Structure 1
């Protein structure tokens, strides 16, 4: 087995770096208040529910426009929708590479924006959308006319998605949706919400849940509390659906099979989150090592102390092992599909998200008082990546998936 990366992929990483230096780094420098110690305050409209400031979102939009014009933004999508057909392995390597560069406009994952975008909704649409939905939503996703939020979590149900309280009931040629979603990210700008509701079966059944593309201006859709989080700004509200009426054209995928769409969403996000978390962890390790090499307390280099060396060496070892697992898993996804390696995807995700939190914490400790300040990036990396240990399935749920595959196979044998 050849473990070397393909030449065309390593060449592409170089092209990405040149693009970032030429187009994105100067734009970031012109708007440095969003990336230096003022970043959280500059990005957040504290007097408007803690929402992202319009100027901040406009800057992200300009970054994506430039990346799309240069042919990078849609890299991981099929050529039929303007992409370059990048594989899961390609995307894992690219996302790690971008995060290893550190914080910046090129890869600000707080808003899931990057010069090489992650578009699970487009992949869901290609897999399960009708011809009419594809014609409407795919181009609309890129020209800004159709922005789709994701409504799965509820006030009483998070990881237990098969126990949804939100329902959709047939009434002649319409569906009537009632319920509440929580952390319904992106609703402040969304034109449509991807709402998962029970249409049949019993609580706990995987079948019987249907996904609907609900226009946000539909009567009965009401945005509630925006939840302020560890990492601000917020775009994570409650959304209430009171007798919301939609037609059959709003059904996304097959009736009663909505969780198939949710699986596409989480698997695409999990492997790419894992790669990004690995890259951010490597950045923290590298920066801490640089600091320890330059700092000389008590007249001797800081790195010569085993108390400094050993924690960083252990983190470096774990990063190397995770890199091998993430790339192997992405490679297997390309050949066998995500569901055939679902346990490995979960392993990658929960271990990488845990690693970056540990690496950011250790980097703070290594750099001492300065590491704790907002003038170094570690606190922001920690606050940002800490949420990944909960979103897309908490790490406990992902460990359970690993165990489920282990013991499920044993039971079959």
Structure 2
């Protein structure tokens, strides 16, 4: 098995790292403090091909593969988890389902501006009563002539405050349960589309997480994405890919926390020597390094399987589960290594700690990942 990146993959990794270090990292703390959505960074990422990495260039993307996507996403997330998740959602949860399920006309009209970064997308699945139980959709879409009329609301939607386009899930036939859910492409200019409450959160404060409200929102009939009743299947397939992206984001967060811990432990002197000399610190750093490497390899494996057209539900769940829990453990240890300074905003590890937690929750909790893995193991 070849663990080496190709020349093309290394090029996008280097490009993403340079961009992250020069333009993203310097504003990461400010974004967290002010909760400002970084529109300018999203636009620059679009110009660099980072908002549609695996989208063919004919639709405005970079025309690369999923491995290229995750190596770039790790670098962006290492600098700023907010910017990382904005990139992740646009790639995995918006561009990917349109590319996989859209008509040629839909790809040209909706995918091209999203993949090129001219527009930003979001993924409208979660509702007040449809979290882990994603099939419990209360938002409805009723066909009225040549228009779909949508009513309902979505919550905890990343990018929603600034999104131009939403990939939306709604019930079209209540009698059919999960087989009565369909997917739609809705643009923010549509009458009846409204951004509701902007969430105040523990971390990822600049990711524009908000409520979306639909009140007699009428969209053209041809904005149905995929077949009627295929929505739940599209959602699950999309989340399989999304979990690879969140795994990469988690690796980036963990790596940032570890690198800060290494630096601090070599500079901080107690008992007349750097604290890096103490075995207690060394063991924490050793665990961090080992688990981060293991997480990255799980992410790469899932990404390679996706590129090869293989089934990867189990592997993406494993990658997301292990990487997200590694990010949380690593960030917790990083705060401990920094001591009192780790609890202050003077050092970035407290931000890593707050940002890491949600990786164990969104796009499927750790518990849901274990259910997915177990279901595949027990087949």
Is this a same-fold pair by TM over 0.5? Answer: yes
Matches of residues 105-124 of structure 1 in structure 2 within 5 Å? 108-109=82-83, 112-113=86-87, 118=91, 120-124=93-97
User: What is the rounded CA distance, in whole Å, between the counterparts of 2:354 and 2:62 in structure 1?
Assistant: 33
Which residue pairs with 1:76 in the alignment? 54
Cα distance in structure 2, aligned partners of 1:234 and 1:278: 18
Distance in 1, matches of 2:42 and 2:312, equals 34
Q: 1:404 aligns with which of 360, 375, 378?
A: 375
In structure 2, distance between residues paired with 1:15 and 1:216:
32
What is the CA-CA distance between 1:128 and the residue it aligns to? 1.3
The answer for unaligned runs of 5 or more in structure 2 is: none
Query: How has the CA–CA distance of structure 1 residues 194 and 276 changed in structure 2, closer, same or farther, with 3 Å as cutoff?
Result: closer
Identify unmatched segments of 5+ residues in structure 1: 45-51
Answering whether residue 166 of structure 2 is matched by residue 174 of structure 1, we say no
2:182 maps to 1:206: no
Q: Cα distance, 1:399 vs. partner?
A: 1.0
| Residues 173/382 of structure 1: CA separation in 2 closer, same or farther (3 Å cut) | same
SS at match of 1:360: helix
Distance 1:174 1:12, change over 3 A: closer
CA distance in 1, matches of 2:196, 2:349: 32
**Contact persistence 1:147–1:192 (CA under 8 A):** yes
CA distance in structure 1 between the aligned counterparts of 2:57 and 2:115, rounded to whole angstroms: 15
Give the aligned length.
Answer: 378
Pick the aligned partner of 1:298 from 267, 271, 277.
271
Structure 1 residues 74, 129: CA separation in 2 closer, same or farther (over 3 Å shift)? closer
Task: Encode CA deviations 1:56-78: one digit per residue, 9 max, x unaligned.
Answer: 42x3245325524xxx6544322
Deviation at 1:392, TM superposition (A): 0.8
TM-score, normalisation: structure 1: 0.81
Contact 1:227–1:234, Cα closer than 8 Å, also in 2: no
What's the secondary structure of 1:189's corresponding residue? Answer: coil
Contact 1:197 1:209 in 2 (8 A): yes
The answer to whether the Cα contact below 8 Å between 1:274 and 1:352 also exists between their aligned partners in 2 is yes
For structure 1, which segment, 184-193 or 256-265, has the greater mean C-alpha deviation from structure 2 after superposition?
184-193
Q: How does 1:270-281 map to 2 (within 5 A)?
A: 270-281=243-254
Which among 28, 32, 36 is matched to residue 40 of structure 1? 32
The separation in 1 between residues aligned to 2:170 and 2:15, in whole angstroms, is 44
Post-superposition offset of 1:292? 1.7
Distance 1:400 1:11, change over 3 A: same
Q: Does 1:64 align with 2:35?
A: no
Indicate which of 90, 94, 104 corresponds to 2:68. Answer: 90
Look up the match of 2:106.
133
- Residue of structure 2 in register with 1:47 after alignment: none
Contact 2:302 2:316 (8 Å CA) reproduced: yes
Offset, 1:6: 3.0
Which residue of structure 2 aligns with residue 384 of structure 1?
Answer: 355
Verify the 8 A CA contact 1:110 1:384 in the aligned structure 2. no
Instruction: Report which of the two structures shows the higher radius of gyration computed on alpha carbons.
Output: 1
By how many angstroms is 1:401 displaced?
Answer: 0.6
Distance in 1, Cα, partners of 2:232 & 2:255:
34
Please give the alpha-carbon distance, in whole angstroms, between the structure 2 residues aligned to 1:140 and 1:62.
11
Q: 1:233 to 1:88 in 2, by over 3 A?
A: closer
**TM-fit CA distance, 1:153:** 0.9
Partners of 2:117 and 2:274 in 1: CA distance: 52
SS of alignment partner, residue 374 of structure 1: coil
Shift of 1:98: 4.5
Give me the whole-angstrom Cα distance separating, in 2, the residues matched to 1:97 and 1:303: 26
Shift of 1:109: 3.0
Deviation at 1:169, TM superposition (A): 2.5
Within a 5 Å distance, the mapping from 1:2-21 to structure 2 comes to 2-17=2-17, 19-20=18-19
- 1:322 aligns with 295
Is 1:362 aligned to 2:333, yes or no? yes
1:216 aligns with 2:188: yes
Partner residue in 1 for 2:167: 194
Partner secondary structure for residue 2 of structure 1: coil
CA separation of 1:158/1:370 partners in 2, compared to 1, >3 Å: closer, same or farther?
same
Following superposition, the deviation at residue 90 of structure 1 comes to 2.8
- Give the Å deviation of 1:84: 4.1
